[in-house]
Chain A
Amino acid sequence: MPEVRVRFYATFRPIVGGKHADVAVTEGASAGDLLDAIVTRWPELHEHLIRPDGGLSKRANLFVDGRAVRFLPEGLKTPLRESQEIDCFPAVAGG
């Protein structure tokens, strides 16, 4: 699994320069590894995605097959598998 397709939304799109991107990760990577790879590639996303003390910012959502990683039993340690859908959103709301 050398690359993972990540879809980006809303204010993250102008930073990434598109709707999705293939992000390189190592074999057996976890959601947290993917997060690291994303902010390494797009440093501008760091302040949006990562808390000052590390970990996923509460103002961002990383979804694996529609489930927010923060609520999965293994959290950022969740191993990624082939053909999963990965979505990366800023926190959003409206009415």
Chain B
Amino acid sequence: MRLSNFGQDIAHVDLASGRVEMRPAPEDWTRKYIGARGLGVRYVLEAGAEVEPLGPDNLLCFMNGPLTGSEASMSGRWACVTKSPLTGTVTDSHQGGWSGARLRWAGFDGLVFEGHSETPVYAFIEDGRIELRDASDAWGKGIHETVAFYQERYGEKNLAVNAIGQAGERLNRFAVWVNEDDRAFGRGGTGAVGGAKKLKAIVIRAALKKSEVDDRDAWKAVRRDALDVIRDEVNITSPKKGGLSVYGTNVLMNVTNRIGALGTRNSQTTSFGDRAEAISGERVQETILVGDPTCHACPVACKKEVEVTEGPWKGLRMESVEYEPAWSFGSNCENDDVNSIAKLIDQSNDLGMDPIELGNVLSMYMEATERGWLPSGAGGLAWGDTAAMVAMADAIGLREGEGDLLAEGTTLAATKLGHPEIAMAVKGQAVPAYDPRGLKGMGLGYATSNRGACHLRAYVAAAELGVAPGEGEPLDPLEWKGKGELVKIFQDLHAFSDSLDFCKFSAFAEDAGHYAAQYSTAMGVEFTADDVMTAGERIYNLERLYNNRAGFGAGSDTLPARFTEEPSTQPGSEGHVSELSSMLAEYYAARGWEDGVVPASKLRELEIV
């Protein structure tokens, strides 16, 4: 597995004819767009920004990065890139676990699916071969059952099963792909694109392969440097010592609650008060935690496996109780029962739905119910009614009853109810767990994300909450000035790490210098920290070009009025709204964009055209 050969082994699979062709990525593309996210976006752009997301012309790309599956720390990730049926933008999502690594070990750098199959199929991949096989006998199954089904057929050893559930099959607009039962390409509805193509699963059998590089000693040294900072006890990534490792992402619940940045009751308020503790990472650790699973080559092990020991879901063992769904099914639905949250996450993983969007669509529907905005005959949902939430999650996954409307996603469903203002979403994708009134930079990050509201395109919450590796200093979460430039920097840095493809959390310890050293040594090219930022900026602008061509422009980078017009009433952020227009002006100036549109001069400067 020669790392510098990355891009040579891309399989193009025509699902209509069943034909598979191996075609290397153009050298110019891998040089400019690196891999994974960047390379996937370049392929999707080639298909045209006007394609119907659920039509046969949309491409569904599963892309490794040049370091996926290597010995570099936190390198188990790969990207799914397509045009989103939820937003109409280009979208990319990333999975942890081992699937990306196994694809690389099986001899592939990426898979590009085009066309629609007439009947359900799955792709079986092993030893440099890829074959489409009949999936009629798996169609209709949930993801857990699908994984078990293929494990029984092929054995568990060295096997990765990446599948859609019933939600994807039924074109739920926020359906996901899940591998290893619980690691999802979580956002943007990539699972619905799979469902439209009748692609049920990607099954990969491959054993660990070692990387080959020109300078083995240098490769070892640069990896050691990165691992040293990940392990450093001052960083939250420090195994078994840092907050992320010990409590997982849900270590955030109490802090966002205390500073007035935890959306509650469909973001009507910004704190869950003393009830947040009951759904926090600390509480999970004290009560139901049973394991700390990890991903390929990751010493952090931030995943949190739990077993429910009481109540209606007693005996449920699942992973992972993360901050995002603990918020979306928790405070945002006025629910402080952590066991029900575990159940709802597991349902999301089994039916195959994005738990952020699902939680938002439930909280939106709760608000609609409270305000009497339901269609006649609809039963609605009460705040914090966990049994009804679980039943509704099934209905949404299966598109039954009221679930059929909600399967359209928060924005479309609220619009059909006649009240788009209660959809907490940007560009059609629901917001994550950081209220923009209490964390100003996150609001700008949501508004300017190229895939709709997203916390991970520009994770400035790290700096706003005091995680500033190296020489960095914490920044005031309530200060809007300076956030334009900051969001740009984070977006560019993360666009690069998403293209390597490294776990986003590596940035809590590593910096652009670490990324550059590992990339340049693996590929045998000169590459500096400045080159990291330029490549990231190029990728971000490439995505924006796609979106501009798809019709997004002036006015598209926005936030729900609730965040810009209704001041927070909670301690920490009391009296604050998001100063979005001021931040946007700063951001566009830093980007060199005109009203959200990339000018031709910028495209030339970044060698995109």
Which A residues form the contact surface with B (CB < 8 A)? 9-11, 13, 19, 58-61, 63, 65-68, 70-71, 85, 87, 89-95
Contacts and interface: CB of A to CB of B under 8 A. Distances in A.
B249 interface: yes
Contacts of B236: 90-93
Given A11-B243, A66-B573, A94-B249, A59 B234 contact: yes
A61 B302 contact: no
A59 B476 contact: no
B141 interface: no
B288 interface: no
Interface in B221-239: 234, 236
20 contacts: A9-B254, A10-B254, A11-B241, A58-B466, A58-B474, A61-B474, A66-B260, A66-B574, A68-B259, A68-B466, A87-B255, A91-B236, A92-B236, A92-B251, A92-B466, A93-B244, A93-B459, A93-B462, A93-B467, A95-B322
B456 interface: yes
Given A91-B236, A92-B467, A66 B259 contact: yes
10 A-B pairs with least C-beta separation: A66-B572, A94-B249, A91-B466, A66-B571, A93-B467, A93-B462, A71-B476, A92-B243, A92-B251, A10-B243
A46 B573 CA distance: 29
Contacts of A93: 236, 244, 252, 459, 461-462, 465, 467, 508
Contacts of B324: 95
B247 interface: yes
A92 B258 contact: no
Contact of B572 (A9, A11, A58, A65): A65
Contact of B571 (A58, A68, A85): A85
A89 B247 CA distance: 13
B254 A94 contact: no
Contact of A63 (B244, B258, B456, B505): B258
B299 to A, nearest CB: 17
Nearest to B254: A9
A89 B241 CA distance: 14
B251 A10 contact: yes
B282 A9 contact: yes
Contact of B302 (A58, A91, A94): A94
A88 to B, nearest CB: 10
B234 to A, nearest CB: 6
B323 A89 contact: no
A9 B456 CA distance: 24
Q: What is the size category of the interface that chain B forms with chain A?
A: 35 or more
B258 A66 contact: yes
Contacts of A65: 571-572
B605 to A, nearest CB: 31
Interface string B322-362: 11100000000000000000000000000000000000000
Contacts of B455: 95
Nearest to B261: A66
A20 B573 CA distance: 23
Nearest to A95: B249
B252 A61 contact: no
Contacts of A68: 259, 466, 474, 476-477
Nearest to B468: A58
A10 B247 contact: yes
Contacts of A11: 241-243, 246
Contact of A13 (B282, B465, B571): B282
A59 B466 contact: yes
Nearest to B479: A71
A93 B508 CA distance: 8
Contact of B465 (A70, A71, A87, A91): A91
Contacts of B323: 94-95
Nearest to B250: A94
A90 B574 CA distance: 23
Contacts of B468: 58, 91
Nearest to A63: B258
